Every structure is written in C-alpha cells, then in structure tokens.
Copies of this chain bind each other. A is one copy, B any other.
Amino acid sequence: MEVSHVSIRIEKLTKELKKNNIRLSHQRLKVLEYMVTHRTHPTVDQIYNDLQKEVPTLSKTTIYNTLRTLVDANLVKAINIEDNEVRYDAVTKDHGHFKCESCGEIFDFDVDFNTFSTRGLKNFNIKHKDIYFKGICPNCM
C-alpha cells in the first residue's frame, strides 16, 4: 500500500475517532497506524512486540484497551477464525478470511453477499457477517 494512501486512511480514521469522542493519544495513533500499514491480521502479541521497538513504554493493556475501543467504533474487526487466538483487521468492507493450516497465513477474499442465499433467515436482522475458511494455500501445495 502506498504511503499516501496510508496517510489518507489514517486521516479518515482519526476523524472517525474524533466523531466518537475518542481521544487521539500517542499510543492509539500508533496502534491505528500499525493496523493500517500491516494488513497481516495481527494478534495483540504481534502488535505489542512490533510496536514496542518504537514505543518502549507501550503496554499490552493499552493495546487491549485500544483495540476494544476501535472494535466498538467499528473501525477494526476481531477475527475469531481460531479458538485460541483473536486477530484484528482494519477492515473497510465485507470480505472473507482464509487461514492456511500449513503456514498459518490469513488471506482475504471477496465474497458476493448478494449471490448468497440465506434461507431460514427471512425475519432476522443481520448486522455482522463473518466468513472463515480453512485449508491449504497455493504456496503450501
């Protein structure tokens, strides 16, 4: 992703934060910046280990707090593709996640939610849609 796009993205996000009355602390901006520049669906631990190099005083508690804030504000999505770890994604639109059971990498894929028949949910108010696939990626085959 180009640097200019990243800065535009972050600008948008900080506006969203202001709109939600969330203070723009140094730590929050760093986490946000990390989420936008690293599209690797990181865990709290990965964010923590990477950001600590830049911001040595940063605590895991703050990352947990920040991510909850961002998830509540719908700026970040939690990915529960595995039952023993939560990953995070700075999503903009609906898409699916594929996890390779060999290398562990998570891939995004487009999902056409319109061609998607959901019989049995006629009178349901659907707010969140998560699609998780697992298997083997082309690189590991």
A residues apposed to B, CB below 8 Å: 78, 80-83, 86, 96, 98, 101, 107-112, 115-121, 123-138, 141
Contacts and interface: CB of A to CB of B under 8 A. Distances in A.
A115 B116 contact: yes
Please indicate which of the listed interface residues A123, A125, A127, A129 has the most CB atoms of chain B within 10 Å of its own CB: A125
Contacts of A137: 124
Contact of A109 (B108, B109, B110, B119): B119
Contacts of A123: 138, 141
A61 to B, nearest CB: 17
Contact of A78 (B83, B115, B131): B83
A120 B110 contact: yes
